[in-house]
Copies of this chain bind each other. A is one copy, B any other.
Amino acid sequence: MNHPAPPVAARRPFAAELVDKLREAFGNRFSTSEAVRVHHGRDESRYDPQLPDAVVFASSTEDVLAAVKLCAQYGAPIIPYGSGSSLEGHLLAVEGGVSIDLSGMNRVLSINAEDLTATVEPGISRKQLNESLRDTGLFFPIDPGADASIGGMSATRASGTNAVRYGTMRENVLGLTAVLADGRVIKTGTRARKSSAGYDLTRLFVGSEGTLGVITEITVRLYPQPEAVSAAVCAFHSMADAVRAVIETIQTGVPIARVEFIDSLAVRAINRHSNLTLREAPTLFFEFHGTAASVEEQAQQVQEIAAHNGGEGFEWATRPEERSRLWNARHNAYFAMLQLQPGCRAVTTDVCVPISRLAECVIETEADLKTSPLLCPIVGHVGDGNFHVLMLLDPGKPEEIEEAERLNRRIVERALAMDGTCTGEHGVGLHKMDFLAEEHGADAVDTMRAIKHALDPHNLMNPGKIFAWTA
């Protein structure tokens, strides 16, 4: 069922005339060079590149529209490209076609500080956006490990370390503009905080992974920077103890902003990569946001809960530099973990389970990993029930790929049996297509397919991702 290699689809013929017309329209913002195509036909997944036939560098919604219209005319697939940080093969041109690079569309179009909203182009990265907000007293909380683009984060319904308090892209995109396959440009949502006006097209495009259209503008929610922030680190005897501390925290209603799990092996990787000296034990990183008094109170509550679950050496990082160091280390964990085994690539699991099942899920997973020859550090957004096992492998050894996919399958099946999901935040891409029907059932996937057929009847938009065109 699960393919060690990504599903192979036939590449579609790519018309020479389309090349001419795109070159005419985009001049030096169009490329068919091998190097550019290789760059756009790969991502951070373990897959080998599958190259698009051409790349267009778009500067505006009009550019995207022009490219989409030409592609539609010649039946060429369209693959939106943001920052290339997908872990699931989203950017591979499995049927060929045109990669539309949106990284040049990185402007902040407006910031409405009073309404706590900003409207941005899709190519802006989360760090660039926060840089633009620096003087406003506001911030945008969604923070996947990579400095992903807001467009890509919308397309994959991404989250990160702040989701336990601030939600995911699902909750934080108020509206967007998208170019559809038939050349219509639609605007979904308004800047109102809530609405009951018709079908929720915004939420339909959030998480659609480029398969329904190209997102060209996004309005997101912002938040006031908290008056006070404090962070802490605490080591535990076992992952299960750490997870229990988190469950108790959530159930007590402490409005914790971040709580991240890092296992011993991941701590070792982070220590090396970010020059830290954390104890190599199952560890939680915490962050608290609020007024000075409320932050102190939250931290006090959590410290008690941690102690009660065998947490040791609760250490504070209250100064901004210390906090930044800690959270930068966490954000760089993916690359730090890859460096545990030079030259490796990784298969990353992304399951998310109801939090009541998290301890059990993690304990059983640890037992699985102990029997495996692969090096498998674990990190997790435990406040959401979401964790990642990085299975490090030598891409030249098929048996290691097979072993990683075997582990991945066991972990996903366990999560689904616990009423969880195969992907908490990375998306389906190529890698989890087989799991989708297992998770939702064939009828629900058929319902998704019916929507895809209705909005993209010629299968132009990022074909071959999420689910197959035919059942």
Cβ-defined partner of A454 (8 Å) among B184, B453, B466: B453
Partner of A352, one of B171, B195, B420: B195
A297-B294, A454-B451 known; A114-B200 Cβ under 8 A: no
On whether the beta carbons of A167 and B171 are closer than 8 Å, the reply is yes
Interface residues on A, range: 35 or more
CA distance A439 to B452 in the complex (A): 24
Shortest Cβ distance from A352 into chain B, in angstroms? Answer: 4
A396 to nearest B CB, angstroms? 30
The answer for the CA separation of A186 and B450 in the assembled complex, in Å, is 13
Contacts A294-B293, A454-B453 given; does A199 touch B208 at CB 8 Å: yes
| Interface set of A (CB-CB < 8 Å, partner B) | 112-117, 156-159, 163, 167-168, 170-171, 180, 184-188, 190-201, 203-204, 206-208, 223-224, 226-227, 247, 250-253, 255, 290-291, 293-294, 297, 350, 352-356, 384-386, 415-416, 419-428, 432, 435-436, 439-441, 443-448, 450-455, 466-467
Flag if B444 contacts A193 (CB, 8 Å). Answer: no
Please state if B112 and A354 are interface contacts (CB–CB under 8 Å): yes
Q: Are A446 and B115 in contact (CB under 8 A)?
A: no
Q: Could you give 26 example pairs across A and B, Cβ below 8 Å?
A: A113-B251, A114-B355, A115-B356, A180-B447, A184-B443, A184-B447, A186-B444, A188-B444, A191-B419, A192-B424, A193-B386, A194-B424, A195-B423, A196-B207, A196-B423, A196-B428, A197-B421, A198-B436, A198-B467, A199-B448, A200-B207, A224-B253, A255-B290, A293-B294, A293-B297, A451-B455
Q: How far is the CA of A297 from the CA of B297 in the complex (A)?
A: 12
Instruction: Check if A440 sits within 8 Å of B352, measured CB to CB.
Output: no
CB distance from A448 to the nearest CB of B (A): 4
